[in-house]
Structure 1
Amino acid sequence: MSEGITDQRDLPEAAAQSRASVLRSRAESYIALSRHDAAIADLTESIALVPDNARAWRLRGESHRIIDRYDAAIADFGESLKLEPDSSYALGSRGQAYAALGRLEEAMADFEHALTLSPESLWILEAKADALVDLDRLDEALDLHAGIIALNEDLSYSWLARGDLYQRMGLYTEAIADYSSALEADPEYVRAYSRRGEAYRMIDRYEDALQDLNRAVELDPDNDRALGSRGAVLSEMGDNEAALKDLNRAIELDADYVWAYRVRGEIFQELDRHEEAVSDFSRALNLEFGDE
């Protein structure tokens, strides 16, 4: 039941419909405020009052998905789809939940069905591309990203997403070009600066990398990934003191940042600070592989 409510089972039908409608509307605001447990409580009562409302099931499924309750999300989207079989939103969101659980073939089936209904839905196309990557169907994913970009070349995220795939494939020049296109679309896109800086680092263009990572940190001083990458670049450039400062801060921001522990451990090793190096390497092994 929702806040302050005890039992509404005996409400007349018209009152039940009215109450359920307000609960659904309030739940949407809770979702916008990222108060997903409150949204789920409202939607649970709304569903108890009016079980045949597809929107309530769909909204509750989305709240479950956002807070990583994927099995509950899949169940709710399934109920929504019984009522509205051609909801591309429910299909796309259920596909995302399947993908998060590694059930990639089921995810692909939902994405394919959703795209027959909404063929230019960018978020579903992006989700399908991610699933193709997870299936190691990289060429298909690249083709899909090209199609996504063609739909709207002014969307910075679409360029960044393909850049990330190029970087995963070790195609750093292509990745840099896409990150640059993302920055043309959005000159203050922190992630694009951070990722392009990392791509520059991978091809030993340290000055370019540092320039991008400095800009990323300037725009977002608490960006742990940009700080970690900048620490690695500074170490490559021989400034271990500044590198350690960045890596220390990155780890403060994210105590589970495996790569930062590994890089900091290598710097400690280079400085003959082996106890600290052992501690960082051990922490990295614990986080990544569960070593004690």
Structure 2
Amino acid sequence: MSEGIKDHSEPSEPSELSEAAAQSRASVLRSRAESYIALSRHDAAIADLTESIALAPDHARAWRLRGESHRVLERHEAALEDFGEALKLEPDSAYALGSRGQTHAAMGCLEEAMADFEHALTLAPDSLWILEAKADVLVDLDRLDEALTEHSKIISLDEGLAYSWVARGDLYQRMKLYAEAIDDYTRALEADPDYARALSRRGEALRMAERYEQALADLNRALELDPANDRALGSRGAVLSELGDNEGALKDLDSAIELDPDYNWAFRVRGEILQELDRHEEAVSDFTRVLHLEFGD
């Protein structure tokens, strides 16, 4: 081959980018990564952000976005490293602190999560998602009254968010405060009448309050909106059993277990119904499954 003529059969080395070009390319890569994240294409986002960071390592947002994608993909150690780098560059980033707190919580490091959330809330005291994440950790720490305070603050900031009423209702239900839970689910449904989760959860609270006909109405509507809601099917099965319709109850519980083969509570309720019907071999099978799921027998 004569000198000066390139052989195009072999790839050429990329030319060195100028500083301005490197910054421009890094910016476009970050922008594309954000769209990948919106599309839940997190591996593609990570690839773009990794190149962007190589080109412009002092851009905190790239580290934070990559950390967020790692977090969503449950690559927790990688997420923590990226959030740490982001916070070196922007120590007062409430978003990075909140996201790192969520990562710590997912890893079971609850005190570390609380420290991140507390710091983040000094910077952004009205951040709803950080308040919600903090409330979840308080529940995991069994600090339920404090969690309730956080949920009440969230609602006070925006009473029109149906999800926030449901979240507090779930906590009331966990605390066995069923009347309060029913009130909160009702407020959620005033904001969003077709909110299947609120209907399902209110139906469950009504069941616990022994208001079976009202519970059945809510659970029927929840299943019209979301036929594959295994929890609503399980709850309706329990309600039907209380109303004397054991065959209908078994049908719902069978469907719930088909949707979630590890639905421990549904096995337990179905076992109790089978026992009442003198179908003891089947009852033994269900109770054995409960012992396996709950205690590893």
**TM-score (ref. length: structure 2):** 0.90
Task: Give yes or no for the alignment of 1:81 onto 2:87.
Answer: yes
User: Partners of 2:197 and 2:39 in 1: how far apart?
Assistant: 23
User: Partners of 1:282 and 1:64 in 2: how far apart?
Assistant: 38
Q: Mean Cα displacement is larger for which, 254-263 or 104-113?
A: 254-263
What does residue 171 of structure 2 align with?
165
SS in 1 for 2:30: helix
Task: Give yes or no for the alignment of 1:273 onto 2:276.
Answer: no
Q: Mean Cα displacement is larger for which, 103-112 or 12-21?
A: 12-21
Q: Give structure 1 stretches of 5+ with no counterpart.
A: 1-5
SS in 1 for 2:228: coil
What one-letter code is carried by the residue in structure 1 that aligns with 2:166?
L
What does residue 62 of structure 2 align with?
56
What does residue 118 of structure 1 align with?
124
**Which of the numbers 107, 117, 121 marks the counterpart of 1:101?**
107
User: Partners of 1:197 and 1:254 in 2: how far apart?
Assistant: 20
What does residue 180 of structure 1 align with?
186
What RMSD, in angstroms, separates the aligned Cα atoms of the two structures?
2.1
List per-residue Cα deviations over 1:167-202 (Å, max 9, x = no partner).
111110111111111111111111111111101111
Identity among equivalent pairs (%) = 79
User: Partners of 1:194 and 1:45 in 2: how far apart?
Assistant: 46
Q: Mean Cα displacement is larger for which, 48-57 or 91-100?
A: 48-57
Alpha-carbon offset, residue 125 of structure 1:
0.9
Task: Give yes or no for the alignment of 1:264 onto 2:254.
Answer: no
Rg (Cα) greater in structure: 2
Q: Give structure 2 stretches of 5+ with no counterpart.
A: 1-11
Pick closer, same or farther for the CA change 1:198–1:12 going to 2, 3 Å: same
Task: Give yes or no for the alignment of 1:147 onto 2:145.
Answer: no
What does residue 156 of structure 1 align with?
162
Pick closer, same or farther for the CA change 1:89–1:274 going to 2, 3 Å: same
After TM superposition, the runs of 4+ consecutive aligned structure 1 residues lying more than 6 A away are 6-9
What one-letter code is carried by the residue in structure 2 that aligns with 1:172?
Y
What one-letter code is carried by the residue in structure 2 that aligns with 1:214?
N
SS in 1 for 2:227: coil
User: Partners of 1:9 and 1:252 in 2: how far apart?
Assistant: 58
Q: Mean Cα displacement is larger for which, 96-105 or 64-73?
A: 64-73
What does residue 220 of structure 2 align with?
214
List per-residue Cα deviations over 1:4-50 (Å, max 9, x = no partner).
xx987954433333332222222222221222222222222322332
Alpha-carbon offset, residue 252 of structure 1:
2.1
**Which of the numbers 41, 48, 52 marks the counterpart of 1:46?**
52
What does residue 244 of structure 2 align with?
238
User: Partners of 1:96 and 1:166 in 2: how far apart?
Assistant: 23
SS in 2 for 1:68: coil
What one-letter code is carried by the residue in structure 1 that aligns with 2:61?
R
Q: Do the aligned residues in 2 keep the contact of 1:196 with 1:212 (CA within 8 Å)?
A: yes
What does residue 37 of structure 2 align with?
31
List per-residue Cα deviations over 1:115-145 (Å, max 9, x = no partner).
1111111111111111122222222222222
**TM-score (ref. length: structure 1):** 0.91
